Amino acid sequence: MRWVWITLALELLCLKSDGADGADSQVRFNRDIRPIMSDTCFRCHGPDQRARMAGLRLDLRDEALKKTKSGVTPIVPGAPDQSAIVDRIFAANPAKIMPPQFAHKELTASQKETIRRWVAEGASYEKHWSYEPVKRPAVPDVRDSKVPIRNPIDAFVVERLRREGLEPSPEADRRTLLRRVTLDLTGIPPTPEEMQAFLADKAANAYENVVDRLLSSPRFAEMQTVRWLDAVRYADSAGFHGDNLWPAWPYRDYVLRAFRDNKPFDVFTREQLAGDLLPNATTEQKIASAYNRLNRASAEGGLQPKEYLAKYGADRVRTLSTVWLGSTMGCAECHDHKFDPFTSRDFYSMKAFFADIRETGLINDRGASAWGAKLLLPSPEQKVRLASLKTRIDAAQAELKQESERLFERRWEWEDRVLEAYKSGELAWRYQHPLSASTLHGAKLSIYNDEPIDSDYYMKGSLHSERKRGDGLVVASGPNPDNETYVVTFKPGPGAWTALGIDVFQDESLPGNRFARGSDRFVLTEVEAELSPSQKLPFVLATTRGFGETPENPPMAAIDGNPKTGWGVGFGEQNNPFLALRFADKVRTTADSVITVRLHHDSDLRRATIGRFRVALSQSEHSWPEDGDSAKKSAVAETSKSDAATLNVSVERGIPPAVLVALEKHEDDRSAAEKKAVLDHFTWAAPELQPLTVRLAKLQAERDLLESAIPRVIYTERTKPRITRVLPRSNWMDETGAIVQPAVPSFLGNVKTDGRRATRLDLANWIVSSNNPLTARAFVNRQWRQFFGTGLSRTLEDLGSQGEWPTHPELLDWLAAEFMQPASGARHAWDVKHIVRTIVISHTYRQSSLTNPSLSERDPDNRLLARQSRFRVEAETVHDIALAVSGLLVERFGGPSVRPYQPDGYLAAINFPKREYSASHGDDLHRRALYTQWQRTFLHPALLTFDAPTREECGVNRVNSNTPLQALELLNDPIFVEAARVFGANILKSGGARWEEQLNWAFGRALNRAPRDEERRILTDLYQRSVESFESGESNAKQLLSVGETPVPAGLEAKQVAAMSLVARAILNLHETITRN
């Protein structure tokens, strides 16, 4: 029984979408015939010459009326009986029928009849609608409408409804209306105060005033920016392979400012495509040009650069074509487009516009040269400080060089001394065997002195496992707090010591990059040492070997007294990072002396705490941070290098390998590099130079920290254009294709340059010229979707032949015309806010979204707009609503991307380097979701689950799904649990004293209405049940209230807050809460 009904329903649906609407109207080519032919005929009888069969072309009338080689005439206007196409589509013989069986396309009876009627009526053709110039259509006269006609939108919609025998719905109630427009324009629900004000405002233009208030809110810009970022596939990571983070957020902020300031869309377009080419380009315009760099980029070793340049170029054409032209030019990468008049040559000519972007196929993803062209964006103050630091560093370097050269003669003596110290073993670091190892915040430290310990680490890409005596190894385990301080004591025995060493071990038992107990690196923020009873042992210089460049974590930061800065390592394998800390004065110890060392990990990165380490002392003159273990590892890693192989690696080093090799040679046999290595080491180690060395190191660390703090953004730098060829079937190795120059698709016109090579700026100017029929249509169609859930043409990404014929073509054109050349009410042409305002002011927008069975049956997807639509809000808004309603939301416009909570191990499948996530702190945990760090290969699960795109590829049309994973997310994700408990506490604090009042208050904030009686009853039950559960000990209030960083409010009873939190959680989980209706 059930299946019968379903079949019936499907048939009803199919019938509805077939054929001409309204039986008496004439068949129209664009509306009725082109969709059928495009889907079923054009593949073999359309624009693609190479795919054409029987020499027959049906997309052009002249061609379709010609007799073919086989002597038949496809179409004889007015005479279906003589028209071959009619004969073939009605054929009973399987060998004759069109479309042929292998095409797997069957025409319905109604489609066949429509084609026959069209031929009978004269087979008139129309140019494809979206390629016709945009002309402002006349507004229909609907004077006797029962609903207000607030602007032409309503006239077009009412006229269409009348043709269908339908009527529009009345205006929604004022509560629904305010909630709807506030969510649509700002992504945050109205506050109860805003609702009260609106309900009380009896002015005729109360609604319009609200709209103007919302349009001028920065939240409006944030909401628009989300959609734009999808389209241009903005992300904070590169997207291929290691998917490392790149600096792109200043571009996001440019987009935010553009929407906030209502930058005309033509200017917005020009700046993004060609900001760098504008005369006297401003910083703002250069930032905008980051648009050209947002495609995915790969740092995978072994890729073939030409192949990837081809990928990047094709990606740019697809994106530009989707975003501005609403076209699927991507199809023409391999062959002429099957349905639209884009040729393959058009595709590559479009790609040629971008051939002047400076880039490489293999892009470096770490170090100073990472990501190619970057624009630094220092604040004026940073600029001044940086310049001053550079001057001082230059001076300090010059002085050091001078002094070092002055001491040149003494170096010979020094060389002998060092070599001897090395040979006698005096240079070697002495691992200390701790007496005790404790922590301040609960982590457990275990000492392995003579005890054996297992370690697993990678060297040269393969796993090494060994079990050996710990020799002073300290291993952290147990509780894993975000910040921690390790306190280690040891007895060095009698001696005089020059430096303390911290040797950090990588081990497979650790997460992420296998250094720290969390995060993607460890950060040692401060190291302190003291000699009993309490004599401080100050350090003057921190040195480390160069592993992975992390300029934001220079070694000197471990002894700079600043608890937030520190030494850290993220990238890297095969080398144990070793930090050498030179004591200010020699430390003399006796047999009973105890040294205490404190390792602080107080950075903002969570759990950037070292997993395994040893401490060491050096008694010789300035041992280099090269201990025995790492010496062995790097020797294995470097076996192909001749010198390393000759070293006796069993000796503990304390000296750079290259220096050792050089010292063992006669001066005359040393290469220039070796001479320099010796001089550098001398400069670092010579006691006489220490004051200068220390001063320079401090300045350099200060500069590194400052430079790391300066915002930067990938952007477009211009270079000599690469040659662009047509790649036959997109094969990047095939160089037989024609060389092409930049040009726009030929059927859409051309850019005039008087022979000069056309630039991206020419392209941008053409895109926003009135000759281009596509840009405005594509944009307003996307805008429409934001406010009704579906575009006027459902296929936002395809206004071509295979796209959906708009439900209201004249309305779409009217909006496009109004966008480009506003008739009234706009500040300028291409005025985005004006178009949005026009849409939301209309009665069509303000209608009730309630439906009834007959309307649902007639127009299930609400394409005729006899009512408003109801749909779930987008991923970002789901998050923002919970934060706003609970009171957690922290609003700040723009800035670096933030990291909300994310489950541990979510990034485990990423590598190069291995990744672990460190959530932000404080305000940054509770920003709008738009600011969430966008990791393309593993998008934050809260966003992904609610259908946010990964932005690996351009996307203009999010799907809207409804899944069990969404339920789990809203119920159990710590951010939503935290929101629920904070909301619960706020209900108790601010919702009044009585239960009824409290529920009213909660509903007012979340849903902008009062609860119904049944709803009260359900929530009262839940509350009582919760209180019982917390009181009986079945559930634990303290544990629940500890979810998330926000402190539990004082003065409230935990069980009561917890029970109310569950009421709050139920409200935050309601379908209505995340629905705009």
Partner 1 sequence: MNSSNGLQLCRRAFLGRGVSGLGLLALNSLLQRRLMAEVARGVVNPLHHPAKAKRVIFLYQAGGPSHLETFDYKPALAKMHAKPMPESLTKGQQIAQLQNSQLLCFGPQYGFNKFGKSGQEICELFPHIGSVADDICIVRSMWTEQINHDPAHTLMNTGSIVTGRPSMGSWVLYGLGSEAENLPGFVVLVSSGKGGQMQPIAARQWSSGFLPSRFQGVKFNSVGDPVLHIRTPPGLSENLQRDSIESVNALNRVENQTAQDPEILTRIAQYEMAFRMQASVPDLLDVSKEPSQTLELYGAQPGDGSFASNCLLARKLAERGVRFIQVYHRDWDHHSGIKANVAIKAEEVDRATAALIQDLKQRGMLDDTIVVWGGEFGRTPMSQGGDGRDHHIKGFSFMLAGGGIKGGTTYGSTDDFGYAAQENPVAVPDLHATMLHLLGIDHQRFIVKFQGLDARLTGIAGQAVSGILA
- Identify whether the C-beta of residue 17 lies closer than 8 Å to the C-beta of residue 92: no
Asked if residue 899 binds partner 1 (CB under 8 A), the reply is: no
Asked if residue 12 binds partner 1 (CB under 8 A), the reply is: yes
What is the b/e burial string over 770-802, where b = at least 16 CB atoms within 10 angstroms of the residue's CB?
A: eebbbbbbbbbbbbbbbbbbbbbbbbbbbbbbb
- For residue 910, list its beta bridge partners: none
Site string for partner 1, 675-714 (x = CB under 8 A): ----------------------------------------
Question: What is the rounded distance in angstroms from the CA atom of residue 597 to the CA atom of residue 499?
Answer: 12
Q: Which residue number, 594 or 971, has a Cβ lying nearer to partner 1?
A: 971
DSSP 616-644: EEE-SS---S--HHHHHHHHHHTTTSHHH
Q: Which of 91, 584, 823, 967 binds partner 1 (CB under 8 A)?
A: 967
Closest distance to partner 1 from the beta carbon of 816 (Å): 20
- DSSP class of residue 334 equals T
Question: What is the rounded distance in angstroms from the CA atom of residue 328 to the CA atom of residue 333?
Answer: 10
Closest distance to partner 1 from the beta carbon of 966 (Å): 7
Asked if residue 1066 binds partner 1 (CB under 8 A), the reply is: yes
| β 535-536/739-740 pair status | unpaired
- State the number of CA atoms in the 13 A half-sphere of 871 facing the CB: 21
Q: Which stretch binds partner 1 (CB under 8 A): 375-383, 745-753, 777-785, 901-909?
A: 901-909
Site for partner 1, residues 313 to 332, rule: CB under 8 A: 318, 328, 330-331
Q: Which residue number, 529 or 942, has a Cβ lying nearer to partner 1?
A: 942
Closest distance to partner 1 from the beta carbon of 210 (Å): 24
Q: Which of 241, 293, 514, 607 binds partner 1 (CB under 8 A)?
A: 241
In the chain, % helix, strand, coil (3-state, to 5) comes to: 45, 10, 45
- Identify whether the C-beta of residue 342 lies closer than 8 Å to the C-beta of residue 745: yes
Site string for partner 1, 1002-1031 (x = CB under 8 A): ----------x-xx-xxx-xx--xx--x--
Q: Which of 273, 294, 557, 939 binds partner 1 (CB under 8 A)?
A: 939
Question: What is the rounded distance in angstroms from the CA atom of residue 475 to the CA atom of residue 453?
Answer: 10
Asked if residue 133 binds partner 1 (CB under 8 A), the reply is: no
Strand positions, DSSP E, 491-635: 495-504, 522-524, 526-531, 535-536, 539-544, 567-569, 578-589, 595-601, 612-618
Counting residues that bind partner 1 (by CB under 8 A) gives 122
For residue 799, the SS3 value is coil
Q: Which residue number, 18 or 253, has a Cβ lying nearer to partner 1?
A: 18
Q: Which residue number, 28 or 43, has a Cβ lying nearer to partner 1?
A: 43
Q: Which residue number, 9 or 53, has a Cβ lying nearer to partner 1?
A: 9
Q: How far apart are the first and last CA of the chain?
A: 33
Neighbours of 642 (CB within 10 A): 9
For the CA atoms of 954, 956, 958, 959, the dihedral, rounded to the nearest 10 degrees, stands at -100
Asked if residue 735 binds partner 1 (CB under 8 A), the reply is: no
Q: Which residue number, 65 or 855, has a Cβ lying nearer to partner 1?
A: 855
For residue 357, the SS3 value is strand
Site for partner 1, residues 761 to 800, rule: CB under 8 A: 795, 797-798, 800
Asked if residue 1038 binds partner 1 (CB under 8 A), the reply is: yes
Asked if residue 101 binds partner 1 (CB under 8 A), the reply is: no
Q: Which of 672, 959, 993, 1050 binds partner 1 (CB under 8 A)?
A: 959
Site for partner 1, residues 55 to 74, rule: CB under 8 A: none
Q: Which residue number, 579 or 873, has a Cβ lying nearer to partner 1?
A: 873
Supply 285's token pair. Answer: 């315009």
DSSP 869-897: --EEPPHHHHHHHHHHHHT------S-S-
| β 430-431/473-477 pair status | unpaired
Q: Choose among 18, 57, 52: nearest CA to 35.
A: 18
Q: Which residue number, 565 or 1046, has a Cβ lying nearer to partner 1?
A: 1046
Asked if residue 1062 binds partner 1 (CB under 8 A), the reply is: yes
For residue 978, the surrounding DSSP H or E stretch is: helix 974-990
Site for partner 1, residues 434 to 473, rule: CB under 8 A: 458, 460-463
For residue 199, the SS3 value is helix
Q: Which residue number, 705 or 1063, has a Cβ lying nearer to partner 1?
A: 1063
Asked if residue 933 binds partner 1 (CB under 8 A), the reply is: no
Q: Which residue number, 157 or 954, has a Cβ lying nearer to partner 1?
A: 954
Q: Which residue number, 60 or 909, has a Cβ lying nearer to partner 1?
A: 909
Q: Which residue number, 588 or 1017, has a Cβ lying nearer to partner 1?
A: 1017
Closest distance to partner 1 from the beta carbon of 1074 (Å): 9
Asked if residue 723 binds partner 1 (CB under 8 A), the reply is: no
Q: Which of 850, 889, 1010, 1052 binds partner 1 (CB under 8 A)?
A: 850
Contact partners, residue 502, CB within 8 Å, separation at least 6: 524, 527, 578, 579, 581, 599, 613, 614, 615, 616
| β 612-618/473-477 pair status | antiparallel
Site for partner 1, residues 869 to 888, rule: CB under 8 A: 870-872
Question: What is the rounded distance in angstroms from the CA atom of residue 619 to the CA atom of residue 613?
Answer: 20
Asked if residue 298 binds partner 1 (CB under 8 A), the reply is: yes
Site string for partner 1, 17-46 (x = CB under 8 A): ---------------------x--------
For residue 261, the surrounding DSSP H or E stretch is: none
Neighbours of 956 (CB within 10 A): 23
- Identify whether the C-beta of residue 889 lies closer than 8 Å to the C-beta of residue 983: no
For residue 103, the surrounding DSSP H or E stretch is: none
Q: Which residue number, 490 or 976, has a Cβ lying nearer to partner 1?
A: 976
Q: Which residue number, 262 or 937, has a Cβ lying nearer to partner 1?
A: 937
Amino acid at 470: G
For residue 403, the surrounding DSSP H or E stretch is: helix 380-406
Asked if residue 509 binds partner 1 (CB under 8 A), the reply is: no
Q: Which of 583, 938, 983, 1001 binds partner 1 (CB under 8 A)?
A: 938
Site string for partner 1, 243-282 (x = CB under 8 A): x---------------------------------------
- The most distant pair of C-alpha atoms in the chain lies apart, rounded to whole Å, by 115
Asked if residue 8 binds partner 1 (CB under 8 A), the reply is: yes
- DSSP class of residue 456 equals E
Q: Which of 451, 857, 923, 997 binds partner 1 (CB under 8 A)?
A: 857
CA 214-975-1066 angle, to 5 degrees, is 80
Q: Which residue number, 449 or 509, has a Cβ lying nearer to partner 1?
A: 509
Q: Which of 961, 990, 997, 1053 binds partner 1 (CB under 8 A)?
A: 961
Amino acid at 814: W
Q: Which of 562, 856, 922, 990 binds partner 1 (CB under 8 A)?
A: 856
Closest distance to partner 1 from the beta carbon of 1025 (Å): 5
Asked if residue 90 binds partner 1 (CB under 8 A), the reply is: no
Q: Which residue number, 731 or 753, has a Cβ lying nearer to partner 1?
A: 731
Burial of 869 (0-12, 13-18, 19+ CB in 10 A): middle
Q: Which stretch binds partner 1 (CB under 8 A): 429-437, 553-561, 766-774, 1063-1071?
A: 1063-1071
Q: Which residue number, 383 or 1017, has a Cβ lying nearer to partner 1?
A: 1017
For residue 754, the SS3 value is coil
Asked if residue 733 binds partner 1 (CB under 8 A), the reply is: yes
Asked if residue 1037 binds partner 1 (CB under 8 A), the reply is: yes
Asked if residue 803 binds partner 1 (CB under 8 A), the reply is: yes
Asked if residue 339 binds partner 1 (CB under 8 A), the reply is: yes
Q: Choose among 460, 477, 457: nearest CA to 468.
A: 457
Supply 378's token pair. Answer: 């220092």
Asked if residue 242 binds partner 1 (CB under 8 A), the reply is: yes
Tokens 């391999």 -> residue: 334
